[in-house]
Amino acid sequence: MLQRWLKAACGACYQGTVALGPFHVIVTVYSLLVLSTAIVLDQTDALSYQSYFAKLGPLYLAILPIAGFSLAVGVIAHRTDDWSERGRMAHQYLSSETVGRVAAGLLAMVSFIIFMGSFTSWKNLMPAIQDGFQYDRAQAAIDRVLHLGADPGPALVRLLPFPRLLAAVEWNYSVLWSLFGFLPPFFVATHKAADSIRLRYLVTLAATWIVIGSLLACAFLSAGPAFYGSVTGDVTRFAEITAFLGHGSSSSSSAVAFQAYLWNHHAAGTSALGSGISAFPSMHVALAMLNALFLRELSRTAGIAGFVYVVVILFSSVYLGWHYAIDGYVSIVAVLGLYAITRRILRDRQGLLCTAPLAVNAAPPRG
């Protein structure tokens, strides 16, 4: 019986992995291109795979699976005192189909970890490819024209010079956004409720990181308002933001501390988790927009909340000096385009495109 269960679970894992084949292929091709570029430029110190396996590996392959299993046990214990019913629910959780699906999802997470290592490696390589940050003056100028002659960042700081607001925005931008950015891929990859969007979400996610965060970012490489003085020599234009951010320098989620972290790694030519500098377009806004679009498929209310969060992140990115406002505007438009393209391309693949909003299952979660 155990042998039959193992065979069925392996079969379900294989089928799930094959279904996600396009995502794995994208990761492989992208990573090989990044590795080749690093070797050609003799910049292998820019590679960041080890740091991502050290941080995301335990999260995706141990902490979250254990948390999911513990939650399942808790749900079973809470829902009924009938041991026969508990046995039925446990059998459902531990079915070969469920275990195989989760295993395929964990393999997708391994690919995602490799992918993120490749992305950060590429970010580290971009200044060498483009010979520095060439587009800050142009992007800041466009920003000023679009906002009636005012730089949005300094204008927001003058309008809202409140240290408590700064602390809240910093925490949201660094901590809460990270949860919203890196937990959904695990849920989508492993949970049965995401069967209908799994491939499309992961492919769109990868396309977002590649097209917006790699290709557009490299083609129009800029450092952002926080680093404007360092890359252009004009230390006065965004000095108000720099001075204001100093009020939160003691916070664990301090923007100015993380900006110093990024610049120190850039100046030293070293790589680390999250290292690399690029402002245009904004990946914070892009991922918030991507999740909002898929949340809209789950429910109208969730979608509205997601779009509100896009506005919050766009505001935060400018208020904290990470981005010019156009970085977020371009990200929103680009994500809409990528979402529409992948929706069309994957429309007929294994019924992965929902024709109606996803149903919220009243049964206990399965993974």
Torsion of CA 58, 60, 61, 66, to 10 degrees: 90
124: tokens are: 């580290």
48: number of CA atoms within 13 Å, CB side?
Answer: 26
What are the pLDDT tens digits along the chain (367 aa)?
788 888 998 999 999 999 999 999 999 999 999 999 999 999 999 999 999 999 999 999 999 999 988 887 787 777 777 777 777 777 677 788 889 999 999 999 999 999 999 999 999 999 999 999 999 999 999 999 999 999 999 999 999 999 999 999 999 999 999 999 999 999 999 999 899 999 999 999 999 999 999 999 999 999 999 999 999 999 999 999 999 998 877 777 899 999 999 999 999 988 998 999 999 999 999 999 999 999 999 889 999 999 999 999 999 999 999 999 999 999 999 999 999 999 999 875 644 334 333 333 333 333 3
DSSP code of 364?
P
Which pair of tokens denotes residue 228? 């404007």
The Cα 153–Cα 353 span in angstroms is 39
**Residue 107 CA from chain centroid, whole number:** 18
**DSSP calls for 166-186:** HHHHHHIIIIIHHHHHHSHHH
Q: Which run of H or E residues covers position 273?
A: none
How is residue 128 written in tokens?
């060498």
pLDDT of 364: 38
Alpha-carbon distance of 121 to 127, in angstroms, equals 11
| Region of 272 on the Ramachandran plot (φ > 0 left; ψ -120 to 50 alpha; else beta) | beta
Stated pTM of the model:
0.89
pLDDT of residue 88: 72
Position 349 scores a pLDDT of 61
Which positions ≥6 away from 202 have C-beta within 8 Å?
A: 20, 23, 108, 112, 185, 188, 189
Answer yes or no: are the C-beta atoms of 320 and 167 closer than 8 Å. Answer: no
